[in-house]
Structures are given as C-alpha cells and as structure tokens.
Amino acid sequence: MQARAEARYVRVSPQKARLVVDLIRGQRAEDALVTLQFTNKRIAPMVEKVLRSAIANAENKDPDIDVDELVVTGAYVNEGPRMKRIRPAPMGRAFRYQRRMSHIVVEVGTPDSDEEAEEA
C-alpha cells in the first residue's frame, strides 16, 4: 500500500531542500519524524509536515494499516517556478537574481508493497 503527500511552491531552493529530504529516504516513518525534529535546517519542519500528511493519507486510504510499519519509500524535491527580482547596482545599473521555489514529495508505504510493485 502506497500513499503520498506533496507540498508545492515552498519558498526554499531545491538544493537546500534536497539536503534534508535525502536524510529520510528509506527510513521507517517513525525514525524519519525523529530525524526531522532534530535536523537544524529551516526547511525541516515543512518536510516533517509533508511526511505527517503522507502518513495520514495512508491511514485514510486503509484504516487497517499498521502505521508503525510504514517506510518512506520515496522522497524527492522538484524545482518550482522562479521569481525574477532586480537588485540595484552601482552607476544606475540593475542586477537580476532569482528566488527559487520547490515542490516537495514524500511517499510512504509498507515494505511488502514495494515487492508487489516490482513484480507487477
């Protein structure tokens, strides 16, 4: 059984978000929550929120599921749109810079569902 959750248009660069998401990929959901609570990055609470949402989606999909056995089967960060901004520069010039956004996706499932997906 697989469930997923997604946070879109998060105001953090994908490169920074991937540092946190890479920590939880493949872990048990409970261990991943503990890891995120003690990760000292600004995006960690948002990733934790997405993980909790994925766990809730799994419970919603199948009420008989054992939450303690859930594993983070997939976690990745895609690049969202960029906001182009202008910063004043010397001698009347202007420098452009980009404020990046991310789409964070977390998938949870039971370990046996991974084997079923590979066989199909």
User: Using one digit for the tens of pLDDT, what is the confidence trace for 38-95?
Assistant: 999 999 999 999 999 999 999 999 989 999 999 999 999 999 999 999 999 999 999 9
What does the alpha-carbon distance between residue 64 and residue 30 come to, in Å, rounded to a whole number? 18
Strand order in the sheet with 71-79: 2-10, 102-109, 71-79
Domains of the chain: 2-119 (3.90.470.10)
Query: For the chain, what's the residue count?
Result: 120
Chain segment 3-46, per-residue pLDDT in tens: 999 999 999 999 999 999 999 999 999 999 999 999 999 999 99
What is the reported pTM? Answer: 0.88
